[in-house]
Structure 1
Amino acid sequence: MDFPWLYEEVLGNPVKSWLAAGAAFAAFLSAGFFLKRVVLGRLRALAERTDTGLDDAFVRALAAVRGWELAFVALALAARSLYVPPAVDRALHVGLVLVASFRAAAFLQEVMNYLWRSATAEVVEGDPTSRSALRNVEYVLSALVWLGAVLFVLDNLGVNITTAVAGLGIGGIAVAMAAQQILGDLFSSFVIFMDKPFRVGDTISVDGLAGTVENVGLKTTHVRSVSGEMLVFSNSDLTRSRLKNFKQLTERRGVIAFSVPFDTPRAKLALVPGLVNAAFQGKTAARFDRAHYTGFSPSGHQFEAVWFAVSEDLTVFMNLQQAVHLDLLDSLEREKISLAYPTQTVNLSK
């Protein structure tokens, strides 16, 4: 049976060609959805029964394919059997390259991120600073993947990649000179990761500003000050500065300095170092070092005692210091030894 209408041209193509293209579009689209829903579901079930996470990364990357992407690929493939205007053919080609490049880059990024995280899992475990720095490296690697995808698209669109790469080299030099500070901060973030002068959670002091490190980023480090506000330091400033890391303290040193009046008897003066030593007895978190009569001050006889709190915690140190001061005051009162006032006596003669 002959159907003459099948040979009638519509938009430059016989009807039968349109029907064949429509059937091809339906077949490609059905195959895509079959693979996405049925085959991918079985792959997911198999991946859940394995111990490795690489197959899970593959499944996640494949599951991210959208329905409109499948539809566009099916349309572009089906349209190859038709005559279409050059502008339409060019648009389909560009769209197909963009969709394929985007999905390939996303797939590669997902797999690469899994491999990177698996390789660095032991490093970042329990170390927020390493986690932050390695996350920054992950960002850089992802940027390189997408840069490669962009160059691939440009190459398929007829752009001279050699010229583009040369332009990127020259432009890169200009950008590097203009963004020297930013690149310095980026490099410093890796220096902080490698050298580890501090970690997230450490209490540090930089140029008289103290606080707890909350995040180490690509460009800046965020420090929560003791009074509550957020301090933001550029990473290059931190690597150039002399900073104090209180988290790495094993002991805190304390000094007790006081004076007793000049009219205190010598026998009483000799008791004072022993009274200071006795004030530390029973305090297991404190280590007494020494107590001495150091000489004369404008207001009386000067004494100095040195001790250590066997803890990096400032609260523990302050509690010990308070307890020692109160016990020392009690001992001085029992011995009827008073503390000197910061006064001077001036004798005037007629």
Structure 2
Amino acid sequence: MSNAKAAAPVLDTGRVGDQMTALFGSAVTWLQERWLEILIAIGAGVAIALLLFWLRGLGARLAARSASGKGWSAVVGRAIERTGGFFIVMVSARLVSGYAATPPEVDKTASFLFTVAAVFQAAVWARELILGAIEHRTRSEHYSGEALMSAMGLIRLLVSFAVFAIALVVVLDNLGVNVTGLVAGLGVGGIAIGLAAQGIFGDLFAALAIIFDRPFRRGDKISYDNTSGVIEAIGLKSTRIRAFTGELRIISNRNLLDKEIQNTTMRDHVRVTYTIGVAYETPPETLARLPDMLTELVEAEQAKVARAGFESFGASSLDFVLQVDTPGDDWGTAHATRNRLLVAIMRRFAEEGISIPYPTQTTFTAAPDGRLVMPYPEHGHPAVQGDTPH
């Protein structure tokens, strides 16, 4: 068995020195032959850089002029303000490098530095726009709260990690590095983290869905399942709802969004349905006037009739249906209107002689020959006249 080891590569200092000498010589030759173009390119580059720095300052002023720094213009202005000085210099150099006919070595170096600056600057812009959009929705839609605002720290971390990881992969790929293994490692690591914290991430993304989809906001009255209440706080993991019966209910954001939610704050009226039965003995003329009579009583209470009319022949009464819309979303106001309306209906029916019958039932008995036997004595019967039967 041979114990010989492969010799480690040794840096050839002589070759490096020759390359440096060649680069320096080509640079000197380039300066001597293209000095006028170089001066013009430097002047143009300085002008471009000054313009870009002015635009960056304009972004800062745009963010400061926005009302309370909460509008979309503020978000865009802050993103422009985050433009780096290195990126501005490299953009200026890249735009004028072709005019001065730079040597291939210098041009290749400038191209690489520009790529690095552009990729990381794009990552910074993307991060600022994403976070700015989330913060804008959080403030403007009144979703702010201690729990949710503290979640912004985690959101910033996740967004920053994602955009800068992508930027690093792009830069390494431009350097000729095989990034397949790195991408695979990041994917496996992301899957492992996601599986370990899927409940937390599920509720976090549900909170973001609440922010952007806006099914409700703090202070809204909602109903879900058999529960109704007022939204008190929307947090990172759960939403707190103050039930109308007084208790505080806490439900995870993911479970809450899986249910059918009725946002009663969004409605513009409360509809109450009444079924009113009148006696079969009521004259047809009175029955015909009944819908207009009910409408008059409803309008006197500053409400609106959605429907008023004959519904069906009931077991003991002729049934009319009255649907009343009370403006607003307050059940207390609608209930008070209902109480006054019911009293007004009873008073008007008493004045008109309209009877609301009790449920009644009459039983008839049949004789052996099939004739009906009346449950009371008939007129003219001897027993009714006081005769003594024989």
Pick closer, same or farther for the CA change 1:137–1:263 going to 2, 3 Å. same
Could you say which residue in structure 2 is the equivalent of 1:138? 152
Indicate conservation of the 8 Å contact 2:237/2:253, yes or no.
yes
Counterpart of 1:299 (choices 290, 305, 316) is: 316
Measured after TM superposition, the shift of residue 181 of structure 1 is 2.3
Pick closer, same or farther for the CA change 1:283–1:119 going to 2, 3 Å. same
Could you say which residue in structure 1 is the equivalent of 2:255? 237
Could you say which residue in structure 2 is the equivalent of 1:203? 221
Indicate conservation of the 8 Å contact 1:252/1:317, yes or no.
yes
Counterpart of 1:333 (choices 329, 338, 350) is: 350
- TM-score, with normalisation over the residues of structure 2? 0.50
Measured after TM superposition, the shift of residue 126 of structure 1 is 6.3
Pick closer, same or farther for the CA change 1:275–1:142 going to 2, 3 Å. same
Taking the aligned partners of 1:137 and 1:326, their CA distance within structure 2 comes to: 54
Q: Secondary structure at the match of 2:366?
A: coil
Indicate conservation of the 8 Å contact 1:133/1:189, yes or no.
no
Could you say which residue in structure 1 is the equivalent of 2:264? 246
Q: Which runs of 5+ in 2 are unaligned?
A: 1-63, 70-128, 162-182, 368-390
Could you say which residue in structure 1 is the equivalent of 2:211? 193
Pick closer, same or farther for the CA change 1:199–1:280 going to 2, 3 Å. same
Measured after TM superposition, the shift of residue 141 of structure 1 is 4.8
Could you say which residue in structure 2 is the equivalent of 1:22? none
Taking the aligned partners of 2:350 and 2:271, their CA distance within structure 1 comes to: 26
Could you say which residue in structure 2 is the equivalent of 1:228? 246
Q: Sequence identity, in percent?
A: 31
Deviations 1:243-291, CA, capped at 9 Å, x for gaps: 100000011112111111222222332232222112123333x112331
Pick closer, same or farther for the CA change 1:198–1:348 going to 2, 3 Å. farther
Deviations 1:74-102, CA, capped at 9 Å, x for gaps: xxxxxxxxxxxxxxxxxxxxxxxxxxxxx
Measured after TM superposition, the shift of residue 232 of structure 1 is 1.2
Q: Is 1:218 aligned with 2:218?
A: no
Deviations 1:122-159, CA, capped at 9 Å, x for gaps: 65556432557861552215656999xxxxxxxxxxxx
Taking the aligned partners of 2:361 and 2:201, their CA distance within structure 1 comes to: 60
5 Å-filtered alignment, 1:21-60, equals none
Q: Secondary structure at the match of 2:200?
A: helix
Pick closer, same or farther for the CA change 1:245–1:346 going to 2, 3 Å. farther
Could you say which residue in structure 1 is the equivalent of 2:196? 178
Matching residue's letter, 1:325: L
Taking the aligned partners of 2:186 and 2:329, their CA distance within structure 1 comes to: 51
Indicate conservation of the 8 Å contact 2:145/2:235, yes or no.
no
Taking the aligned partners of 2:192 and 2:267, their CA distance within structure 1 comes to: 45
More relative contact order in 1 or in 2 (CA 8 Å, sep 6+)? 1
Taking the aligned partners of 2:138 and 2:310, their CA distance within structure 1 comes to: 52
Could you say which residue in structure 2 is the equivalent of 1:128? 142
- TM-score, with normalisation over the residues of structure 1? 0.55
Taking the aligned partners of 1:116 and 1:131, their CA distance within structure 2 comes to: 20
Matching residue's letter, 2:154: V
5 Å-filtered alignment, 1:282-321, equals 282-284=300-302, 286-321=303-338
Task: Answer with 1 or 2: which has the greater Rg.
Answer: 2
Counterpart of 1:259 (choices 257, 277, 301) is: 277
5 Å-filtered alignment, 1:46-195, equals 123-124=137-138, 127-130=141-144, 135-141=149-155, 172-195=190-213
Could you say which residue in structure 2 is the equivalent of 1:102? none
Q: Secondary structure at the match of 2:300?
A: coil
Indicate conservation of the 8 Å contact 1:130/1:193, yes or no.
no
Indicate conservation of the 8 Å contact 1:124/1:131, yes or no.
no
